A and B are shown apart, each in its own frame.
Chain A
Amino acid sequence: MSFEELLKQAGLQDYSQYFGQDPTDIASALGLTGKQATQFGQFFQPFGQEQLMAAQEEIGERAATRTGFLEGNYQSGLQGLGQQLGQATRQIGQAAGQAGFSGAGATAKQIAESRKVAGQSLQDIMQRRQEGLYGIEQQRGTEMAGLTGMLQNYLQNVFRRGERLYGLDPTGGTSGFTGTTGDPGGGGDPLDNPSMITPGMM
């Protein structure tokens, strides 16, 4: 899965421009242009795409591992059930041989009972497998949500930084910032008393 696909999965595909690896690109995405974008880029920390991809890969591997464990247990369960069923069938057969024709009815009953028990065991094994797969998927989702949370956190920080920058009345260029609303950011009035002196020289 590529990073773009990951963003799309997280529903953040419209914000892919903020995940550039060059800080200038992030500043440009916020509406800063030219030299201004280059200067203001220093105030942005690019997102660690590689680490995120590694995490995503790790999550996949973990899910695969868990699934492998589950499948192994499932196979073992099936195998065990088959062996138990075979053993029971053999024992019933031996008992029927010893009893002769007179015990045919009881033998048939025992075989039916064994099949019933085996069917229930198989159903239990299948149920546990389904539950296991569900649990693995849930775990994978939780871990992926952690990644999405990181993406969201990063985006919020970028926008908050952008708001602060614009609140500080940046010089040069024109604003095209259409970031998040809410916190107007820091900065404010650059000077305690911006009104300048009135010269009375003459």
Chain B
Amino acid sequence: MTLAEIMAGLGASQAVGGARTGALLTETVEGERRDLRDARKRLEEQQKERDRKAKRRDKRRGIGRLLGGGIGFLLGGAPGAALGSAIGQGGAAATQRGGYKLDNVSAGLGQGMFFKGGREDISTAERDINRYLDDANTGFITNIATSAVSDYLTAGQLDKAFPGIRGGGFKAIGEKGIGFDSIMDMLRFDPETTGLGAFDKKSFIPSAIYSPKTMAGEGYLDFIKPDISQYNKNYLSVKGNPLTAISGSRISTSSSLDDILNMMRGG
């Protein structure tokens, strides 16, 4: 073999070998670049899907809370509202398709030879999203509990402000059984006991037109007037000597100072 042939062979083998390994490198690099893009897209899609599910979950929880809390309140007052709210929300969550939990996302990115920084970015994003999802799941349970407590307090205030608003409650069911009529009875408030009858006295006028004083004068606020009759009876029935205001004690208007001191000493 001549020198020219040997040199040509050597040059050709190097050139072809270099081209082959270069093509292999390009193929590997482009494949990994594609994998990274796919992983990022997959992560984004999963994140959007979890976002949609979180919104659906909250919507269902709201409906469950409203129904459960409302029915619970009608049946059992404030505790019933709390229990009903919790059950309603829990039920809504439990019956959600695919479960209430927001599953972790996965980029599905395997091992690779290149793009260390890009891979770390995706791993970090994956971890961040999963941490958010865990927080969201924990927050969801916490929200059920806190909203149940909140419903309890709200229902309690409602019950105090509008006594009798729950209507017949169980009583109506006991009398008529579970049916449309009994439920309507439950929902029907008694104007006399709730105080809401005050609104019946006059046609509804936006409160903005009326000052509190005017509204009170015209009877709009009758239902929130405190019942001070007992107070008057206990504390203001005897005028003059304030010591007589101590109800049920052995002190009377005729007691002397010595008697009072003796009583305070435990005598």
B29 touches A161 (CB 8 A): no
Q: Does B3 count as interface, using CB distance less than 8 angstroms?
A: yes
Residues 116-160 (chain A) with a chain B CB within 8 angstroms: 143, 146-147, 150, 153-154, 157
Number of A-B contacts (CB under 8 A): 129
B17 touches A58 (CB 8 A): no
Per the CB 8 Å criterion, the residue count for chain B at the interface is: 51
Q: Does B254 count as interface, using CB distance less than 8 angstroms?
A: no
B10 touches A43 (CB 8 A): no
Q: Does B187 count as interface, using CB distance less than 8 angstroms?
A: no
Q: Mark B1-43, 1 if CB is under 8 A from A, else 0.
A: 1110011011101100110111011001100110011001001
Q: Does A177 count as interface, using CB distance less than 8 angstroms?
A: no
Kindly list the 8 A-B residue pairs having the minimum CB-CB distance in the complex, ordered from nearest.
A45-B17, A196-B125, A190-B115, A51-B10, A190-B118, A168-B114, A55-B6, A171-B116
Which residues of chain B are near A154, meaning CB under 8 Å? 14
Q: Does A70 count as interface, using CB distance less than 8 angstroms?
A: no
Which residues of chain B are near A169, meaning CB under 8 Å? 114-118
Which residues of chain A are near B20, meaning CB under 8 Å? 45
B132 touches A201 (CB 8 A): yes
B6 touches A54 (CB 8 A): yes
Once bound together, how far apart are the Cα atoms of A168 and B33, in whole Å?
A: 10
Residue from A55, A187, A202 within 8 A of B139 (CB atoms): A202
B128 touches A143 (CB 8 A): no
Residue from A46, A143, A150, A196 within 8 A of B3 (CB atoms): A143
Q: Does A62 count as interface, using CB distance less than 8 angstroms?
A: yes
A170 touches B6 (CB 8 A): no
B1 touches A58 (CB 8 A): yes
Q: Does A74 count as interface, using CB distance less than 8 angstroms?
A: no
Per the CB 8 Å criterion, the residue count for chain A at the interface is: 44
| Contact flag A47-B14 (CB < 8 Å), given A171-B112, A171-B115, A201-B50 | yes
Q: Does A59 count as interface, using CB distance less than 8 angstroms?
A: yes
Q: Does A9 count as interface, using CB distance less than 8 angstroms?
A: no
Which residues of chain B are near A195, meaning CB under 8 Å? 121
Once bound together, how far apart are the Cα atoms of A165 and B51, in whole Å?
A: 39
Once bound together, how far apart are the Cα atoms of A170 and B22, in whole Å?
A: 16
| Contact flag A191-B114 (CB < 8 Å), given A55-B7, A161-B21 | no
> Which chain A residues have a beta carbon within 8 Å of chain B's beta carbons?
36, 39-40, 42-48, 51-52, 54-55, 58-59, 62, 143, 146-147, 150, 153-154, 157, 161, 164-165, 168-172, 187, 190-192, 194-197, 199-202
A191 touches B37 (CB 8 A): yes
Q: Does B198 count as interface, using CB distance less than 8 angstroms?
A: no
Shortest distance between the CB of A147 and any CB in chain B (Å): 8
A202 touches B132 (CB 8 A): yes
- Please name 20 pairs of A and B residues whose Cβ atoms are closer than 8 Å in the assembled complex, sorted by A: A36-B113, A46-B17, A52-B10, A143-B3, A153-B14, A161-B18, A168-B114, A169-B114, A171-B115, A191-B33, A192-B37, A194-B118, A195-B121, A196-B43, A196-B124, A199-B51, A199-B128, A201-B50, A201-B132, A202-B136
Which residues of chain B are near A157, meaning CB under 8 Å? 14, 18
A171 touches B114 (CB 8 A): yes
